[in-house]
Structure 1
């Protein structure tokens, strides 16, 4: 099984970490976020980005 994760498609760790806070803020402010089936905090949104980047399980 091939895991699809951001770091496998050419996004460097340096670039990711330089922008993860901005991406998180944008995602939380996006109008579509309010229609999610569960509320998501800024901290959880950032953890989700980190999990996607590293291919980690989301267990929160």
Structure 2
């Protein structure tokens, strides 16, 4: 990942910042939909507290 990040040019970054739709969708999915989906999964499977916390933390991490 570090090597891939080093190969990104300034022009590529600016092109994504000019049209931020994909970035916004990605952020909403990562910090909104994934935690909500994991919460629903936790409630459906009735997991133990420790497993629930682990799953929720994993869902919130980028």
TM range (shorter): 0.3 to 0.5
TM-score of the superposed pair, with normalisation by structure 2? 0.36
Question: Which structure would you say has the larger Rg?
Answer: 2
**Greater share of helix residues, 1 or 2?**
2
TM-score of the superposed pair, with normalisation by structure 1? 0.37
Query: Of the two structures, which has the highest relative contact order with CA contacts closer than 8 Å and spacing of 6 or more?
Result: 1
